[in-house]
């Protein structure tokens, strides 16, 4: 901020970059979830690797909220990829047995 209390160009740019970064993580997370729902696990793993690369390359440059978002997204998506396709718990018995 300058002496009048107005944001300087750098602070506005930082806010814009922060919002773009958070949006990027949300976007990649959502795309990964959609791929998993469609059974495209190999493609989903590629997006998980992308988020992991972001984490490695931005280490030490993120604020607490950005780091938590990245960690949470990675954990959630890794667990979803490891679980693989959902297996139906039990098929309902047919009425043909009567």
Q: Which residue range forms the structural domain that includes residue 48?
A: 9-83
pLDDT of residue 82: 87
82-90: average pLDDT: 58
Taking only Cα atoms into account, the Rg of the chain, rounded to an integer number of angstroms, comes to 21
Q: What's the structural domain count of the chain?
A: 1
21-57 residue pLDDT tens: 999 999 999 999 999 999 999 999 999 999 999 999 9
Over 80: is that where the pLDDT of 75 sits? yes
DSSP-derived letter for residue 97 is G
Q: Is residue 90 in a domain?
A: no
Q: Is residue 94 in a domain?
A: no
Report in angstroms the alpha-carbon separations of 60 from 17, 50, 56, 64, 66. 16, 18, 9, 10, 11
């Amino acid at each position: 901020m300058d002496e009048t209390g107005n944001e300087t160009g750098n602070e506005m740019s930082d806010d814009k970059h922060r919002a773009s970064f958070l949006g990027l993580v949300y976007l990649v997370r959502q795309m990964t979830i959609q791929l998993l729902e469609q059974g495209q696990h190999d493609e989903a793993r590629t997006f998980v690797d992308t988020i992991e690369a972001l984490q490695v390359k931005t280490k030490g440059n993120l604020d607490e909220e950005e780091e938590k978002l990245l960690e949470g997204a990675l954990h959630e998506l890794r667990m979803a990829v490891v679980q693989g396709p959902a297996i139906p718990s039990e098929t309902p018995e047919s009425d043909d047995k009567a």
